[in-house]
A and B are shown apart, each in its own frame.
Chain A
Amino acid sequence: AQRVTQPEKLLSVFKGAPVELKCNYSYSGSPELFWYVQYSRQRLQLLLRHISRESIKGFTADLNKGETSFHLKKPFAQEEDSAMYYCALSAAMDTGRRALTFGSGTRLQVQP
């Protein structure tokens, strides 16, 4: 069965410091990985997808199949980045439809 691990419950950094939110996965198939974010009093929303290889709000994430990791990085944290971040793996279900398996989340606190 697939599994997503986010080892840090809380990551606290100062404004302007680099950020790296760790995500490791296990999946026997071809992985499709995402980062979702939930800002205070807002809904969970997609931040980025590994296939698109985009930089969203200064965040990037590279899929490393050798290390089975999909860490989220930003070179200079901003206070508005404070939120809950979830790594998610899309895996095939019995119906053939793919569904998301989420990690337990990491709360990022960016201090002024």
Chain B
Amino acid sequence: NAGVTQTPKFRVLKTGQSMTLLCAQDMNHEYMYWYRQDPGMGLRLIHYSVGEGTTAKGEVPDGYNVSRLKKQNFLLGLESAAPSQTSVYFCASSFDYEQYFGPGTRLTVT
């Protein structure tokens, strides 16, 4: 039982490049979330999903897209990366009130 896994762990992008971050969970959770964490700002919600095939915007959705084609996976896409998207990205999943977090992906955009 791996819980929540994130791929990749680290990535460096040049401005304008695109990439997809993958989040997978093996707990059969309905709800999944993507957060970003910046120094001194805590975690901020980017997008979330309440079930397979559904997604919704969080607090800071601009510049990101998401998809939840399978219940266990939640993908976060950056179509044209910008230096402002340099951050640590966390995925989480939940059944009810408790969220289970992945280990994070450190993304640097130069």
**Residues in A lying within 8 Å of B, measured CB to CB:** 4, 6, 9, 32, 34, 43-46, 49, 86, 90, 93-95, 97-105
Contacts and interface: CB of A to CB of B under 8 A. Distances in A.
6 contacts: A43-B102, A44-B90, A86-B43, A90-B97, A100-B99, A104-B41
Contacts of B44: 102
A99 B97 contact: no
Contacts, number: 54
Given A102-B42, A102-B43, A105-B42, A46 B50 contact: no
B45 A99 contact: yes
Those 10 A-B pairs whose CB atoms lie nearest each other, nearest first: A102-B42, A104-B42, A44-B101, A102-B43, A43-B101, A46-B98, A95-B56, A97-B50, A103-B42, A105-B42
Given A9-B40, A104-B42, A99 B48 contact: yes
Interface of B: 4, 31, 33, 35, 40-45, 48, 50, 56-59, 90, 92, 97-104
> For the complex, would chain A's binding face be called helix, strand, loop or mixed by DSSP majority?
strand
Contacts of B92: 44
B56 A93 contact: yes
B42 A97 contact: no
B70 to A, nearest CB: 19
A46 B99 contact: yes
